[in-house]
Structure 1
Amino acid sequence: MVAETTNEKATSWMDTPPRSPLLRHYSAKLIANMPWLDKLSSPLQGWVNGLFGSPKDASYRIKDMLAGIWLGHPVHPILVTIPIGAWTSTMVFDLVWLANEDDDAMARSADMMMWLGLAGATGSAATGLANWVDTDGQEQRTGMLHALLNGSVTVLNASSAVLRFTGQRKTAIALSSAAYGLTIYSSYIGGELAYSDAIGVNRVIPEAGPDEYVAVMEASDLEPGKLTRVDAAGMPAVLLKEGSTIHAIAATCSHLGGPLDEGSYEDGVVYCPWHNSGFRMCDGAVVNSPAVYSQPTFAVRERDGKIELRRLEHA
């Protein structure tokens, strides 16, 4: 327990950096002391959201593709391996060349890996932007710093690539080495977003649900056409009755945990009230991003005047 003095200004835990280890503490403190990042984030998010449009717009399909609906998993973690791997190879080849400056094969290999990394950085940036655009608060600020660091890395490496063509290889290596140092810290920031802030994580995973049928409500109390939240052995579920059919999927949005029962329903699709992720009520499949993970579904039956649910599949 940590005592507070009566004159100490109260600070939300959301804005308080972790105490340990020191790297996380000072990294989070650094970001907390960068409010100017918010002035960049808000207009950028507004512009990107305007570019993608709404889920019913054809342009929104671009966001769905970048987010990874087709993959069932965010695309960004896959693509980031290309620039990081390529630029690591560039550094290794550069070090070998520095040991023997007559080794043209090492120079050519370093240059090829540099350009491969730049190509991969483009796709990585686009998919990262599609994931970041629906964040807010500390995650939004952290993501903005991550993007600025990656942008700086790309500019340094692009400059290095040009200098290599003009014969200024040692200066080019100095630039790419500085870029690699920034890459390491930016990767750390990206890890914070993924593993500490759980951006891109399936939020339904911690919920278990019943292997056997459990009663959740009186059948007579379920109103047709109304999203209704129930508890299935500790797992929130949302029900919808259409005619004689009752659909049931997990009520916790797989994207960032929004309550689907508080969302809207239209043409067989329930939309999350937080970020408008769309899921088919009949099978939990993702209709539109930002969610990429489908909602778990439930088998439904009526017995002795009660509605009973049993979870069907893994998240």
Structure 2
Amino acid sequence: MLAERAAKAIENATVLDRPADAVAGAVSKVLKPGRVKDALSGTPLGHPAHPALIAVPIGSWLSASWLDLVGGRGGRSAASKLVMLGVMSSVPAVLTGASDWSDTLGAERRAGFVHALANSTGLAIYVASWRARRQGKHLKGAGLALAGAGVVGFSGWLGGHLAYALGVGVDTTAFLGGPTDWTEVASEADLADGQPLAATVGVVPILLVRQGARIFALNDRCTHRGGPLHEGKVVGDCIECPWHGSRFRLVSGEIERGPATQSQQVFEVRVDTGRVLVRR
């Protein structure tokens, strides 16, 4: 398929790495782990905020073009206001998208970079459309809006590819269920207090942490971008992901700090004659 070939070409375009890494690094320096990053990531919502926020600018811009086509002279004022509404509402969409994209690497970062460039181009075209309308050049404004819709449409397709083909923003543990029967994963003697330990049951990575007399077990793959939690550190009653700093409570898997939006899967634990066993 042409679309699939185009997506693969973008994913493999290593020429994008240098500028994409530079921009992502700048964004990461500004958006450090904390409340602002959590809000932009959608941590309080339980899912990424960016996909919901893009509906307002896209809807406003397409509605403006519809009025351009069928509204006649009476629809010009409303169409101009809709174009500006789309421009203004694109700001939170840009901020949340930049936050999510800065945590990606490789093919996802390249595709996201092109997605961002296309969105920026589309936004600039819509600003030009609004200015033309303000100057009374309604036909030019309408034409620019159609051009902007084409660019934003391409960007939207690429955004869908990022989410549904590359899994950006998707819980990376969604299809890792874990054992339903008690299954041995480690020896109790291997667990040092406060030191994360990695184990595996089939294809499911397990994180084990001892704190005093209690042993906790969570999925070892961070729900955010798949970071190996056993390489992170224990902070109080939480495990911190070594990649982007998300923190999860050991007892429940709940998010203490983002940018993760989905809680970590936890497993029941019991010890039998020195063997550590887990189950869902």
Higher relative contact order (CA 8 A, sep 6+): 2
Q: Where in structure 2 are there 5+ consecutive unaligned residues?
A: none
Matched, 1:143 2:117: no
The aligned counterpart of 1:91 is 65
Contact (CA 8 Å) 2:186, 2:275: kept in 1 or not?
yes
Residue 25 of structure 1, CA deviation = 0.5
Matched, 1:124 2:93: yes
Matched, 1:25 2:9: no
Contact (CA 8 Å) 1:232, 1:309: kept in 2 or not?
no
The aligned counterpart of 1:44 is 23
Contact (CA 8 Å) 2:192, 2:210: kept in 1 or not?
yes
Residues 63-101 of structure 1 show CA distances to partners (whole Å, capped at 9, x for unaligned) of: 11100110110000111111111111111111013xx33
Decide which of 134, 151, 175 is 1:206's aligned counterpart. 175
Which whole-Å CA distance do the structure 2 matches of 1:51 and 1:287 have between them? 21
The aligned counterpart of 1:295 is 264
Identity %: 33
Contact (CA 8 Å) 1:223, 1:241: kept in 2 or not?
yes
Matched, 1:216 2:185: yes
Kindly report which structure 2 residues correspond to 1:172-251, keeping only aligned pairs within 5 A, or say none.
172-232=141-201, 234-251=203-220
Residue 234 of structure 1, CA deviation = 4.4
The aligned counterpart of 2:56 is 82
Which whole-Å CA distance do the structure 2 matches of 1:291 and 1:283 have between them? 15
Decide which of 251, 269, 278 is 1:282's aligned counterpart. 251
The aligned counterpart of 1:61 is 35
Contact (CA 8 Å) 1:41, 1:140: kept in 2 or not?
yes
Residue 310 of structure 1, CA deviation = 2.0
Residue 33 of structure 1, CA deviation = 4.7
Which AA in structure 2 matches 1:126?
L
Which whole-Å CA distance do the structure 1 matches of 2:208 and 2:141 have between them? 60
3-state DSSP of counterpart to 1:182: helix
Structure 1 residues 30 and 210, CA gap change in structure 2 (3 angstroms)? closer
3-state DSSP of counterpart to 2:45: coil
Residues 156-210 of structure 1 show CA distances to partners (whole Å, capped at 9, x for unaligned) of: 1112112222211111111111000001111111111111111111110111112
Q: Where in structure 1 are there 5+ consecutive unaligned residues?
A: 1-20
